[in-house]
Amino acid sequence: MDHTFLQSTLRELQVIQRSPRFWATFVTIVLIFALTGPYGTLDRLMPGARLGYWLALHAMAWSIAIVFSIVAEILLRGQIASMFARMMIGSVVAALPIGFGIALIDFAFFGTWPTVAGSLHQSIGSIPLCALFCILSYMTMHRQIAIAAGGTDLAEAKTISASAPEIRPGIPQPPILSRLKPENRGALIRLTVRDHYTEVVTARGRELILLRFSDALMEIGNTEGIRLHRSHWVAADHVAGLKRDNGKLFVVARDGMEMPVSRSYAEAVRRRFG
């Protein structure tokens, strides 16, 4: 398995794991199902067993749906522009193993022997729940997932915001900022190639935009900076220093981010920051 893919998957899973909104939603849904007892569980199970049943079922279903949605979100970035669409595809595909998981849980609680036909029926019935899960996840965590997709967690994003200057009133903004969501428009910090996208990092956040890197460089306006690599550009004010590791040159940003410098740009970088 590709090491970068594994890192990206673990990073985005950690975003969900650390989200209070996610856990609050999970607990609320489990309690609603346990109290209302849908699908005949109100009559067939005592309150404690009913809570255990729905806790086990939702823990299994949500875990599978999360993994599938995150994997699809990462694998389909080059083919599908919408993060929501990528996550929805993964969530719907997750309905198949979830159906077999429900059959096993039913066997544990009711003694109903699982069959392939019954499991497939459960899978079809799980599709609406998987779609609902995707909608809830996207609404509450899409921005955090986008940050993690770029290799930066929320703590680093706060560091960026604290360490970089804000745009001052009256100074023309770089044209590329008009492509960002209003809440992400701040002082330009760096640009990075991400598959077919350009990741724009500002003092207020980060965002992936469908724009060639060469075109993005033409929209940085009067922002003073330097290109480091065919995939990296950084604002001069955000550079903390240089670093060498195994003979390779890196630029260290003020937020701790290390960006590689290619040979064709190394001399210019050393003259500027060495």
Q: Which helix (H) or strand (E) holds 184?
A: none
- Would you write out the chain's pLDDT as a tens digit for each of its 274 residues? 455 566 666 766 676 677 787 788 889 989 999 999 998 899 999 999 999 999 999 999 988 988 898 888 878 866 776 778 888 999 999 999 999 999 999 999 998 888 889 889 989 988 988 888 788 777 766 655 665 555 544 444 444 444 444 555 556 788 999 999 888 888 999 999 887 789 999 988 888 888 899 999 999 988 999 999 888 999 999 998 898 888 889 998 887 888 899 999 999 999 988 7
- Residue 152 CA, chain-centre distance (Å), reads 10
d(CA 147, CA 97): 29
What is the spatial distance between Cα 85 and Cα 244, in angstroms, rounded to a whole number?
41
Residue 266 CB partners (closer than 8 Å, separation 6+)? 249
Pick from 14, 24, 11: nearest CA to 140: 24
Exposed / middle / buried, residue 161 (Cβ in 10 Å: 0-12, 13-18, 19+): middle
Domain residue limits, the chain: 3-149, 154-273
The class of domain 154-273 in CATH terms is: mainly beta
From the list 18, 25, 45, 212, the residue with the least C-alpha distance to 132 is 25
As beta bridge partners, residue 225 has 235
Question: What is the pLDDT at residue 128?
Answer: 87
